[in-house]
Amino acid sequence: MDRSTGQVVIHTEDDGKAKTITEHMKLPPDLANGIVTMLLGDIDHKAPKTSLSMLVATPKPRIVKPELTPAADDLFTVAGYRYKATRYSVHVQIGGISGVIARIIGKQPPDTQVWIVEGKAPSFLKSEGPLFEGGPVWRIELANPIWPQDQADRDR
């Protein structure tokens, strides 16, 4: 993506053949491409909801609106010390008629949950959600934190 010209180039593979898609798009000023977990470290954690624009490299590039909402505070422990993490729900809004159709035909991506420990240097703890369009739900987490459910499993 070239922000200054609006040129978007996507390299993909279709039936084993390399394919390049080039489009010129009007890119919004709040475009925030990147890893969502990194974006969560930069948002106002007291805001009830943060919405931004993101370019997704589907076969036809499109702008979607992820909504980042603090969902709950969850406790975890590390080395016997108790800490609080904020769990965020990330809901992807697909605009226009495409968004309506996506919900009807089951193509609306499931919400992703991301846990962040706040502070001077906000840090990623874990996430649960798909990593790509149509992909399975994955859990990615640091090895050290112990969550209450993990502790209950260990005590059995």
Q: For 32-54, how does the pLDDT look when each residue is reduced to its tens digit (9 = 90+)? A: 877 788 888 888 888 999 998 98
Specify the higher pLDDT residue, 131 or 83.
83
Q: Is residue 12 part of a domain?
A: no
Look at the chain and report how many structural domains it folds into. Answer: 1
Q: Is residue 140 part of a domain?
A: yes
Q: Are 25 and 63 in contact (CB under 8 A)?
A: yes
Query: Which of the residue ranges 26-30, 48-52, 54-58, 115-119 would you say has the lowest mean pLDDT?
Result: 54-58
Q: Give the domain range for residue 97.
A: 34-53+66-155
Q: Does an H or E element contain 101, and which? A: helix 96-104
pTM over 0.85: no
What's the whole-number mean pLDDT along residues 145-152? 75
